[in-house]
């Protein structure tokens, strides 16, 4: 039982990271019907920018671990949001009227460009986050000893997901984002400036992805310019699992994938944990081709 | 000066021109209907008025101001709202959210609240279903919602593309009555219809479109008496 709960909390922490990244895929897909392949590299960039800011500004020395990390997170989110908006402006917006395939190619190109840039600037070797930032302690919870860092990662992703959910559900611009995802033409007839909606999506999605990169750096301690590949694939899987384009779906999909992976690794086979996760994905898609939460309402003509 | 003045409007989809110089004039307070067979270019005309499709030639002036180069969201702000063909309700949003989106361009919340009360009084079925998802409404209810949603922006002019499509005759009657009521509050209406008889009964003036051209225009009673119109659209021709 002990192992089960350890794996559960571990899976939720990793899953929360997947979910944060998955949100970026799903939001862009929702509005543009485009897989933003460069999203995984924005995640990587978040990890690297976090490291640079952490070591160069010594925020945690000046402000203490909590406020220092918080400020660091905000800075990374802000910077990656800007990069995301720039990415849209340069790589996608000029192709808005072109066939979708052009944008897909542009996305692949942007991904390669970002990944190579990161490698050129930071080098190809693993880089190590300072290890004295976050508390090493563990908390006793009902006979279970859980690392504080794990809880912090989990709490952060839950808070971010809740905030995003409220933003999307309760604000005017959030409703506009949902409307544009359903029918862009109809959204424009409502007076919604769809370009503004797209800009918003490219600010919010990448900022969450960048934050996830920082969290991975802080949680696991080392980063590499190819890290976006594995995390990106998992997060993309999570988005499909939940129903791509569906925001709560990406959250559920990410958490679920994290748990499946952790359980698979613990009870079945460490080496096969990715394969197990993908098997579950395939099985779910056979039963529900639109993903867990995709398209619940049938279209009425 | 007419409220809406369209002159020599040309529209292309790719290389194919589908409007070949359309002229329309809509005066303030009028109900104008555009009739025409499938593929005549009626929807294209309305979409171009709303800025969703850009013309390749000609001009559109609204209240004397050229609007043909403006993006769609600005045109809505100026006071042109559309109930599009096929209703295009946001299926996975609630009725209330659909209504809120209709008021997206309005900043005055007091005013929005008043407008909404008026619309819910006008279309009580919507009021009862506020929390229901748009996609779960019946076809007629969805049409009501599309109209209510478009009215939320307090438009000066309301464009409707075949609001009677697929609805039972009784419902069509209700919708047309509602349109008349809306018109009496000062909203100008442009109505695209296949149901020519009902449309001519409601409208003050009418245009007939064929293959991307306006081929006939005049006061509704005149067109109703026109033998060509009778033969082609009212099914009461001498043949
Ligand atoms: N998006 C598009 N791309 C290419 N051609 C189009 C497009 N939309 C319409 N057309 C063509 O333009 C012409 C006019 O179409 P439009 O939809 O304006 O006609 P309509 O009068 O509204 O017809 P209906 O009564 O069937 O709704 C048709 O020949 C149609 O095939
Ligand atoms: Mg049409």
Highest mean pLDDT: which of A111-120, B160-169, B230-239? A111-120
- Chain B nearest C-alpha distance from A85 (Å): 21
Identity of the residue in A172, A182, A188 whose CB atom sits nearest the CB atom of B52: A188
Reported as a pLDDT band with limits 50, 70 and 90, residue A67 is: confident
SS3 B95: helix
Concatenated DSSP letters of chain A? -HHHHHHHHHHHHHHHHHHHHHHHHHHHHHHH----TTHHHHHHHHHHHHHHHHHHH-HHHHHHHHHHHHHHHHHHHHHHHHHHHHHIIIIIGGGTTS-HHHHHHHHHHHHHHHHHHHHHHH-SS-EE--TTSS---EEEETTEEEEHHHHHHHHHHHHHHHHHHHHHHHSHHHHHHHHHHH-HHHHHHTT--HHHHHHHHHHHHHHHHHHHHHHHHHHHSEE-TTHHHHHHHHHHHHHHHH-TT-HHHHHHHHHHHHHHHHHIIIII-STTHHHHHHHHHHHHHHH-TT-SSS--SPP--
Query: Which among A176, A183, A189 has the least Cβ separation from residue B72?
Result: A189
List the single residue in A with minimal CA-CA distance to B72.
Answer: A188
B126: exposed, middle or buried (C-beta count within 10 Å: 0-12, 13-18, 19+)? buried
Among protein residues, the one whose CA lies closest to atom 7 of ligand 1: B13
% of chain A at pLDDT higher than 70: 98
Kindly state whether residue B190 falls inside one of the protein's structural domains. yes
pLDDT band at A301 (very low <50, low <70, confident <90, very high): very low
Angle of the A227-242 helix axis to the A39-57 helix axis, nearest 10: 130
Domains held by chain B: number: 1
Helix, strand and coil content of chain B, in percent to the nearest 5, comes to: 40, 25, 35
pLDDT digits (tens, 9 = 90+) for B131-162: 999 999 999 999 999 999 999 999 999 999 99
A100 Cα to the center of ligand 2, angstroms: 26
Highest mean pLDDT among A142-146, A230-234, B45-49, B105-109: B45-49
pLDDT at A295 (0 to 100): 65
Ligand 1 site, residue B13, Cβ cutoff 6 A: yes
Confidence band of A289 (pLDDT split at 50, 70, 90):
confident
Instruction: Look at residues B11, B25, B22 and name the one whose alpha carbon lies nearest to residue B61.
Output: B25
A19 pLDDT higher than 50: yes
How many angstroms is it from B122 CA to the middle of ligand 2? 26
Mean pLDDT of B36-51: 96
Can you give the pTM of this predicted structure?
0.91
Amino acid A187: pLDDT: 97
Residue A243 has pLDDT above 70, yes or no: yes
% of chain B at pLDDT higher than 70: 98
Q: For position A297, what pLDDT does the model report?
A: 38
Out of B52, B90, B136, name the one closest to residue A182 (CB). B90
In chain A, residues with a C-beta closer than 8 Å to the C-beta of B76 are 189-191
Residues of chain A with C-beta less than 8 angstroms from the C-beta of B100: 172, 175
**CA proximity to B10, closest of B215, B213, B216, B217:** B213
A97 touches B at CB < 8 Å: no
- pLDDT above 80: residue B168: yes
Task: Find, among B239, B159, B232, B146, the residue nearest to B197 by Cα.
Answer: B232
In a domain? residue B183: yes
Mean residue pLDDT across chain A: 91
Note whether B88 contacts A185, CB cutoff 8 Å: yes
> What pLDDT is stored for residue B131 in this prediction?
95
- Position B239 scores a pLDDT of 44
Rounded to a whole number of angstroms, the distance from the CA of B175 to the nearest CA of chain A is 18
Residue B48 beta carbon below 6 angstroms from any ligand 1 atom: no
**CA-nearest residue of chain A to B88?**
A186
- Interface contacts (A, B; CB < 8 Å): 83
Inter-chain touch A297–B104, beta carbons under 8 Å = no
Q: Which of B76, B90, B137 sits opposite A179 (nearest CB)?
A: B90
Q: What is the pLDDT of residue A2?
A: 81
CB contact under 8 A, A189 and B101: no
CA of B88 to the centre of ligand 2 (A): 13
Residue B38: inside a domain, yes or no? yes
Confidence (pLDDT) at A105? 95
Say what the pLDDT of residue B236 is: 65
Within 10 angstroms of residue A101's Cβ, the number of other Cβ atoms is 9
DSSP sequence for B6-61: EEEEEEEETTEEEEEEEEEEE-TT-EEEEEE-TTSSHHHHHHHHHTSS--SEEEEE
- A174: pLDDT strictly greater than 50: yes
Contact list, B71 vs chain A (CB under 8 Å):
188, 193
Q: Tell me what the mean pLDDT of segment A126-153 comes to.
A: 87
> What number is the average pLDDT over the span A279-291?
85
| Residue nearest to ligand 1 atom 26, measured at CA | B38
Pairing status of strand B213-219 against strand B80-83: unpaired
**A299 pLDDT exceeds 80?**
no
Residue A161 reports pLDDT greater than 90? yes
Do B92 and A175 make contact, defined as CB atoms within 8 angstroms? Answer: no
| pLDDT reading at A269 higher than 90 | no
Is the pLDDT at A298 greater than 50? The verdict is no
Helix (H, G, I), strand (E, B) or coil at B123: coil
- Do the beta carbons of residue A253 and residue A285 sit within 8 Å? no
User: Which of residues A133 and B128 earns the better pLDDT score?
Assistant: B128
- The CATH code of the domain that includes B151 is 3.40.50.300
Asked if B93 and A176 come within 8 Å (Cβ–Cβ), the reply is no
pLDDT band at A267 (very low <50, low <70, confident <90, very high): confident
> Which residues of chain A neighbour B104 with C-beta distances below 8 Å?
172, 176, 190-192
Does A168 contact B at CB distance below 8 Å? no
Q: Is the CB of B195 within 6 Å of ligand 1?
A: no
- Residues in the 5 Å CB sphere of ion ligand 2: B 43, 85
Task: Give the pLDDT band of residue B213 (cuts 50, 70, 90).
Answer: very high
Cβ–Cβ < 8 Å for A218, A54:
no
Distance of alpha carbon B8 from alpha carbon B57, whole angstroms: 7
Listed by start position, the domains of chain A span 2-287
Residues of A in contact with B105 (CB under 8 A): 190-191
- Considering only the top CATH level, what class is A2-287? mainly alpha
Q: Which atom of ligand 1 is least distant from the CA of B44?
A: 18
Q: Whose CA is nearest to atom 22 of ligand 1?
A: B43
Instruction: Find the mean pLDDT for residues B219-229.
Output: 91
The predicted pLDDT at position A31 comes to 92
Q: According to the model, what pLDDT value does residue A190 have?
A: 98
pLDDT digits (tens, 9 = 90+) for B78-98: 999 999 999 999 999 999 999
| Residue B239 within any structural domain of the chain | no
* Alpha carbon separation from B23 to A294, B7, B209, B218 (Å, rounded): 45, 5, 11, 13
Tell me how far the alpha carbon of residue B38 lies from the centroid of ligand 2, in angstroms.
7
A183 Cα–ligand 2 center, Å: 18
Residue B20 counted as domain residue: yes
pLDDT of residue A280: 82
**Residue A290 confidence (pLDDT):** 85
For B209, the domain range is 4-234
Q: Which residues contact B171 (CB under 8 A, 6 or more apart)?
A: B140, B143
Q: Do B72 and A176 count as a contact with CB atoms less than 8 A apart?
A: no
Is residue B72 predicted with pLDDT exceeding 90? Answer: yes
CB A250 within 8 A of CB A22: yes
The pLDDT score that the predictor gives to residue A58 is 80
Mean pLDDT of chain B, nearest integer: 94
pLDDT at A16 over 80: yes
| Chain A residues closer than 8 Å to B73 by CB | 188, 191-194
Ligand 1 mean position to B97 CA, how many Å?
Answer: 30
pLDDT for position A209: 98
């Amino acid at each position: 039982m002990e192992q089960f709960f350890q794996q559960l909390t571990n899976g939720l922490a990793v899953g929360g990271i997947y979910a944060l990244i998955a949100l970026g895929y799903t939001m862009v897909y929702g509005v543009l019907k485009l897989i933003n392949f460069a999203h995984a590299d924005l995640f990587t960039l978040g990890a690297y920018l976090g490291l640079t800011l952490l070591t160069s500004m010594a925020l945690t020395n000046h402000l203490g671990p909590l406020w220092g990390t918080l400020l660091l997170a905000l800075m990374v989110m802000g910077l990656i949001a800007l990069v995301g908006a720039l990415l849209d402006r340069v790589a996608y917006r000029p192709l808005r009227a072109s066939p979708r395939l052009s944008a897909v190619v542009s996305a692949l190109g942007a991904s390669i460009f970002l990944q190579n840039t990161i490698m050129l600037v930071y080098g190809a070797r693993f880089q190590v986050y300072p290890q004295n930032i976050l508390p090493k302690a563990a908390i006793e919870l009902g006979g279970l000893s859980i690392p504080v860092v794990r809880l912090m990662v989990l709490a952060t992703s839950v808070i971010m997901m809740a905030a995003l959910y409220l933003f999307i559900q309760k604000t005017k611009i959030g409703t506009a984002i949902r409307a544009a995802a359903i029918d862009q033409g109809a959204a424009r007839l409502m007076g919604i400036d769809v370009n503004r909606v797209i800009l918003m999506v490219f600010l919010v999605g990448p900022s969450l992805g960048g934050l996830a990169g920082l969290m991975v750096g802080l949680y696991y301690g080392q980063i590499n310019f190819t890290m976006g590949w594995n995390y990106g694939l998992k997060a993309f899987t999570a988005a499909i699992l939940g129903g791509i384009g569906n925001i709560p779906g990406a959250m559920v999909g990410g958490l679920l994938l994290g748990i499946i992976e952790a359980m698979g690794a613990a009870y079945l086979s460490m080496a096969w944990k990715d394969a197990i996760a993908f098997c579950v994905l395939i099985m779910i898609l056979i039963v529900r081709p639109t993903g867990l939460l995709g398209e619940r309402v049938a279209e009425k003509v | 000066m007419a409220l809406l003045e369209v002159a020599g409007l040309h529209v292309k989809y790719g290389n194919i021109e589908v409007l070949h110089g359309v002229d329309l004039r809509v005066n303030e307070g009028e109900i104008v209907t555009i009739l025409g067979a499938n593929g005549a270019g009626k929807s294209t005309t309305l979409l171009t008025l709303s800025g969703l499709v850009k013309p390749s030639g000609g001009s559109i002036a609204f209240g004397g101001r050229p609007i043909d180069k403006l993006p769609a969201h600005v045109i809505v702000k100026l006071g042109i709202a559309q109930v599009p063909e096929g209703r295009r309700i946001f299926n996975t949003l609630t009725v209330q959210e659909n209504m809120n989106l209709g008021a997206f361009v309005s900043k005055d919340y007091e005013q929005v609240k008043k407008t909404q009360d008026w619309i819910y009084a006008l279309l009580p079925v919507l009021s009862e279903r506020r929390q229901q998802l748009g996609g779960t409404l019946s076809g007629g209810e969805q049409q009501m919602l599309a109209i209510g949603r478009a009215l939320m922006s307090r438009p000066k002019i309301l464009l409707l593309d075949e609001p009677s499509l697929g609805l039972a005759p009784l419902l069509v009657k209700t919708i047309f009555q509602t349109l008349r009521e809306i018109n009496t509050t000062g909203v100008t209406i442009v109505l695209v219809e296949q149901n020519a008889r009902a449309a001519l009964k409601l409208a003050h003036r009418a245009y007939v479109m064929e293959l991307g051209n306006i081929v006939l225009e005049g006061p509704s009673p005149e067109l109703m008496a026109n033998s060509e119109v009778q033969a082609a659209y009212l099914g009461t021709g001498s043949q």
